[in-house]
Amino acid sequence: MFVENGITADWLATPYFNFDRIDERGGNVWLSPSFAGQVIEERETTRVIMNGDGVMAEVANTSGESIPHYLKPSVVTPDDWRRVKNERLRREDPARKVDIERLIAETPPDRDFPAGVWVGSMIGTIRNMLTFEGLAYAMYDYPEMVEDMVETSCVLVEDYLDQVLPHIQFDYASGWEDICFNNGPIVSIDFFKNVVAPRYKRINRRLRAAGIDIWYIDCDGDVRPILPAMMESGINCLFPFEVNGCAHPSELFATYGKDLRIMGGVDKMQLGKGREAIKACLERLAPLVERGGYIPFCDHRCPPNVNPDDYLYYLDLKEEMFGAVQG
């Protein structure tokens, strides 16, 4: 159905399926300028590239996307960090100034869609620069460097919020981390509590002062070990909530009650098992929708083994059960 209807990207699929519109407004809160992406080497089935984070990676030599194999981070030592910080993370960079008039025009007070303010990432983008393995070492080899990276990220987000919050009434805040996998976080819990969480708290003070009381973080995997610190810091909504990498949403709701919200949590593996499995999956989620604070949809993309007709059945059944279409 995508081929027949010329759908090649998420932004085209959303109106096709009649999904609700949801918009976020974000500013220049990290590298400015980014590194120039370039191809370093062409190989038989792969190519070596440098991405916008300055990281060298090997990717499949195809027209589609693939998970990169990272070869060399852009930051390894404190000297590397000082150079990148001086060149690409200047607070006074004119590119960080927000066009307030344009933002107001794009986010009118009489809008009929929810608009969120983007609060960036305190450690996920740092992981991107250092790579998974590089961050694991740097936390212990260069803890002062990593904390300065987190502080720099926080200050840039604060600068952005100070520009926009006086002018726009946002409905929620959103951020991105991706610092967990199916065995828990890639950073130590102590590091998260002592280094990352205090910066979240600073951001949360600004959000609360502006009347924003919903803040979701996009983080994959098993977030349970760091969830208490996240919630204490002001984050109260999880997305996309991977059932197979974490837990069933009901388990976390039983622990945190209505202080926690969740978006996602549909076991996408069930979608490929036919309509009976799809219906059973949604019926198990129905009480959570009824209680509130929960929007069910797939964690990440629908798997390729799902019959397109069964996917449409899944969407129709959700609309019948819950009264709205959510991807």
Three-state secondary structure string covering 144-157: HHHHHHHHHHHHHH
State whether 113 and 57 are in the same domain. no
Residue 1: inside a domain: no
DSSP 194-209: IIIHHHHHHHHHHHHH
Question: Based on the domain organization, do 90 and 155 belong to the same domain?
Answer: yes
Q: Are strands 180-181 and 172-176 parallel, antiparallel or unpaired?
A: unpaired
Full residue range of the structural domain in which residue 56 is found: 36-73
- What does the pLDDT read at residue 63? 65
**pLDDT tens digits, one per residue of 284-297:** 999 999 999 999 99
Contact 174, 219 (CB under 8 A): no
Tell me, yes or no, whether 3 lies in a domain: no
pLDDT of residue 83: 98
* Domains in the chain, number: 2
Residues 154 and 222 in one domain: yes
Residue 238: alpha-carbon gap to chain centroid: 10
Separation CA 227–CA 261 (nearest Å): 12
Q: Are residues 69 and 195 in the same domain?
A: no
Same-domain pairing of 16 and 57: no
How does pLDDT run across 193-247, given as a tens digit for each residue? 999 999 999 999 999 999 999 999 999 999 999 999 999 999 999 999 999 999 9
Residues 6 or more apart in contact with residue 207 via CB below 8 angstroms: 117, 119, 161, 165, 173, 213, 215, 234
Output b/e per residue, 255-265; b: 16+ Cβ within 10 A: ebeeebbbbbb
**Same domain for 306 and 179:** yes
Q: Are residues 129 and 261 in the same domain?
A: yes
* pLDDT score, position 22: 81
Amino acid letter, 57: A
Whether the predicted pLDDT of 62 surpasses 90: no
The rounded percent of the chain whose pLDDT value lies above 90 is 87
Instruction: Summarize the confidence of residues 97-116 as an average pLDDT.
Output: 95
Same domain, yes or no: 67 and 215: no
Same domain, 14 and 63: no
Distance CA 325, CA 155 (A): 38
